[in-house]
Structure 1
Amino acid sequence: GSAEGSESAESGEVLLTVFCTHLDHIDEDQRVVQMAHALQEMQTAAGTPHLLVGDLNALDANDYSASEWAALEHKAAEHGWGGPRDASCVRMLLREGYVDTFRAWCAQETSGQMLPGVAKFTAHTTRPMYRIDYALLSPSASAAGVQVVGAFVDTSALGSDHFPLVVDFAWDGAGAAGARPSALPAKL
Structure 2
Amino acid sequence: MTVLRRRVFACAIVLAAGWSAAGGAQAHPFHATFAELRHNPKTHRLEVALRVAPADLERALRRRVRAPISLERRPDIDTLIEAYVRDVFVVQHNGSAVPLRWVGKEVLSHQIAWLYFEFLPPTAAAAVTLRNSAFFELASKQINTVQVTSQQGTRTLTFSPGRREQSRRVRLGPPKSRGPVPTVSG
Structure 1 length-normalised TM: 0.30
Instruction: Give 1 or 2 for the bigger CA radius of gyration.
Output: 2
Bigger relative contact order, structure 1 or 2, given CA contacts below 8 A and separation 6+? Answer: 1
Structure 1 or 2: larger strand share? 2
Structure 2 length-normalised TM: 0.30
